[in-house]
Amino acid sequence: MAADDEPFRNLGFAEDTAVFASAPQNVRVLSEGWMAMHGFCPSCGAEPLSAFKANSPVADFHCSVCAEEYELKAQRGPIKRRIMDGAYGTMTARLKARNNPSLMVMSYDPGRTRVTDLIVVPRYFFTVDLIEPRKPLGPNARRAGWQGCNILIGDVPLSGRIPLIISGVVSPRAEVVDRWRSTLFLKDASLNARGWLLGVMRAVEAVRRPELALDDVYAHEATLSALYPGNNNVRPKIRQQLQVLRDRAGWRSTGAGRIGGPDPSPNGRGSTGLITPPTSDPDGSVGQGLAFGSREDRMAEAVKTLTVAERRAAARGARRVERASRHAEAIIGLAEALAAAWHLPEGSAAQRRARARIEWGIRALKRVKL
Same domain, 234 and 279: yes
Same domain for 142 and 23: yes
45 confidence band (pLDDT: 50, 70, 90): very high
Residues 217 and 277 placed together within one structural domain of the fold: yes
% residues pLDDT > 90 (the chain): 20
Classify residue 8 as left (phi > 0), alpha (psi -120 to 50) or beta: left
Q: pLDDT category, 96, cuts 50, 70, 90? A: confident
**Residue 263 predicted with pLDDT over 50:** no
Mark whether 9 and 144 lie in a shared domain. yes
Among residues 154, 177, 211, the one where a domain terminates is: 154
pLDDT above 70 as % of the chain: 71
DSSP string, 330-356: HHHHHHHHHHHHHHSPTT-HHHHHHHH
Global pTM value: 0.65
Counting the structural domains of the chain, the total is: 3
Question: Would you state the pLDDT for residue 278?
Answer: 32
Residue 236 belongs to domain with CATH number: 1.10.10.10
If asked whether residues 85 and 211 sit together in one domain, one would say no
Helix (H, G, I), strand (E, B) or coil at 174: helix
d(CA 253, CA 286): 9
The secondary structure of residue 254, as a DSSP letter, is E
* Average confidence (pLDDT) over 76-93: 87
Same domain (yes/no): 62, 207: no
Residue 149 domain flag: yes
pLDDT band at 262 (very low <50, low <70, confident <90, very high): very low
Residues 231 and 294 in one domain: yes
Q: Are residues 140 and 233 in the same domain?
A: no
**pLDDT category, 135, cuts 50, 70, 90?**
very high
175 in a structural domain: no
- Give the HSE-up count for residue 128: Cα atoms under 13 Å, Cβ half-sphere: 11
Query: 60-74, 154-168, 186-200: lowest mean pLDDT where?
Result: 186-200
State whether 211 and 229 are in the same domain.
Answer: yes
Q: Which domain covers residue 197, as residue numbers?
A: 189-305
Task: Reduce the DSSP state of residue 251 to 3 states and report it.
Answer: coil
- The three-state secondary structure class of 39 is coil
User: Among 240, 213, 369, 226, which Cα is nearest to 305's?
Assistant: 213
Contact between 197 and 245 under an 8 Å Cβ cutoff? The reply is yes
Q: Are residues 321 and 356 in the same domain?
A: yes
Closest CA to 82 of 132, 9, 120: 132
Mark whether 200 and 343 lie in a shared domain. no
**Do 341 and 296 belong together in one domain?**
no
pLDDT at residue 125 is higher than 80: yes
pLDDT digits (tens, 9 = 90+) for 161-190: 999 999 999 999 999 999 999 899 888 888
Q: Is residue 109 part of a domain?
A: yes
Q: What is the mean pLDDT of residues 333-339?
A: 67
For residues 72-84, average pLDDT: 89
Mean pLDDT, to the nearest integer, of 340-352? 71
